[in-house]
Structure 1
């Protein structure tokens, strides 16, 4: 759906907007793999689990990006809680940057998000990642990315979901996103979406059977090439 994720209420809210975990109906775990432009050093791996305790949801994720010469790793822990039609979430990520022949860098990044169900058909979400604007190193002015997202989701029917989102990384231009989800039959979903900065188009599909869900998506960027995304989820019911 063009990465319009700020209003999502699934397992991967642990990465996209921690408050969305409060919308889950059952504990879940999953793994995710992404390949960017056919370059092995850009591959990304992620694993996540979400567990409820009374009215509080806990989410944990581990991710890695890069190769043996340069890589970034994250270990995240977040909490989400829903009060009536409003969900709030707070997350801390332990970030590690490893560069060949350089000392490893460790930082703690704090993120906060919220969602509100305006009606059964309409919901709103907002999220800020690394709101503390942590620096890469104390002796450098370069900071790790701080990202702000704001979006809305509309369900005009039981089979169609539409979403729109704006994303701003402090150093770059605004990225506008839009996405569409269509469910032709129960357990099978089709997605498409677009981004403006950089300009990209996405397509994907997913199947859910019993406790398992598998999904694949591809994105295209005219000059850089294509990206591929695969994830497998398991729901404890």
Structure 2
């Protein structure tokens, strides 16, 4: 039975990786996931997975996040991550740790990120990421790459974010390479209660993908999040609720036109 389980799960994961087009396994925080995968203009701990430049806005206190997503209702296809950030006079620093897999196949992602404010309205960021892959009966592998991020505030209500991940082609296995990603987008905040994100993401191997997210804050402690992505179509919806001062619990689901519905949950702690 176990010999049949591994190839089945491997095929399922390959299908969701190709559909996601965002890395070996999707790297995400729960807020970004429920906003259609947008977040290039996110700040502090919210920018840890989406744009390292956002770490430049980290307060001088520790912030942390954790998220998990399960697909097909299978525990073997659970993706989880934890992260932390801290701001200093020299900029903001972040730590990423993510995992996916089961006994026979395991992927781990670890990264260090840094963001710095260069001018009043312009930030840059850099992250170094390593991917470890362990497969039963095969040799383990470890691959490393890096990414760059930028954020520019045009006016107080409008920002531009951009990110390049793995700009140089890096071979992972024979004829298989680490994903190369390029993304750029806008974030518009017409009021204190509404944030709208619109982004385009391009993987070197796949078609251009458009992502749109809307966050509505009807109350100080409540966030309502919607998102949509193309190629393949995804729709997302979820809520974030600040259960105590600084600690937010988020939950929601993503509907994928090929893979169906999969739920996600997350925690975020920060002191603004």
For the aligned pair, the TM-score class normalised by the smaller chain equals over 0.9
Counting only pairs closer than 5 Å after superposition, residues 174-185 of structure 1 correspond to structure 2 as: 174-185=208-219
Q: Deviations over 1:68-92 (max 9, x none)?
A: 2222111100111012111100110
The answer as to 2:39 corresponding to 1:9 is no
Q: Is the 8 A contact 1:30 1:232 kept in 2?
A: yes
- The 4+ residue runs of structure 1 with deviation greater than 4 A are none
Match of 1:91 in 2: 127
Offset of 1:37 from its aligned partner? 2.6
Instruction: For 2:112 and 2:37, locate their aligned partners in 1 and report how far apart those are by CA, in whole Å.
Output: 22
Q: Deviations over 1:4-44 (max 9, x none)?
A: 11121141422111111112334301211111232322211
Instruction: For 2:213 and 2:155, locate their aligned partners in 1 and report how far apart those are by CA, in whole Å.
Output: 20
Offset of 1:157 from its aligned partner? 1.1
Q: Secondary structure at the match of 1:11?
A: helix
Offset of 1:206 from its aligned partner? 0.3
Counting only pairs closer than 5 Å after superposition, residues 196-235 of structure 1 correspond to structure 2 as: 196-208=230-242, 209-235=244-270
| Greater alpha carbon shift after TM alignment, 50-59 vs 162-171 | 50-59
Q: Which sections of structure 1, spanning at least 5 residues, go unmatched?
A: none
Match of 1:68 among 75, 95, 103: 103
Q: Which has the higher helix share?
A: 2
Match of 2:84 in 1: 49
Match of 1:170 in 2: 204
- How many residues align? The count is 235
Instruction: For 2:52 and 2:72, locate their aligned partners in 1 and report how far apart those are by CA, in whole Å.
Output: 28
Q: Is the 8 A contact 1:14 1:21 kept in 2?
A: yes
Match of 2:151 among 106, 112, 115: 115
Offset of 1:236 from its aligned partner? 4.6
Match of 2:139 in 1: 103
Q: Which has the higher strand share?
A: 1
Q: Is the 8 A contact 2:57 2:92 kept in 1?
A: no
Q: Secondary structure at the match of 1:16?
A: coil
Match of 1:194 among 225, 228, 231: 228
Instruction: For 2:57 and 2:169, locate their aligned partners in 1 and report how far apart those are by CA, in whole Å.
Output: 28
Instruction: For 1:185 and 1:236, locate their aligned partners in 2 and report how far apart those are by CA, in whole Å.
Output: 18
Q: Secondary structure at the match of 2:53?
A: helix
Question: TM-score, normalised to structure 1's length?
Answer: 0.94
Q: Is the 8 A contact 2:58 2:86 kept in 1?
A: no
Offset of 1:211 from its aligned partner? 2.0
Q: Is the 8 A contact 2:44 2:58 kept in 1?
A: yes
Offset of 1:141 from its aligned partner? 2.0
Offset of 1:133 from its aligned partner? 2.5
Instruction: For 2:271 and 2:210, locate their aligned partners in 1 and report how far apart those are by CA, in whole Å.
Output: 35
Q: Deviations over 1:167-186 (max 9, x none)?
A: 11111111111111101111
Match of 1:159 among 167, 190, 193: 193
Question: TM-score, normalised to structure 2's length?
Answer: 0.83
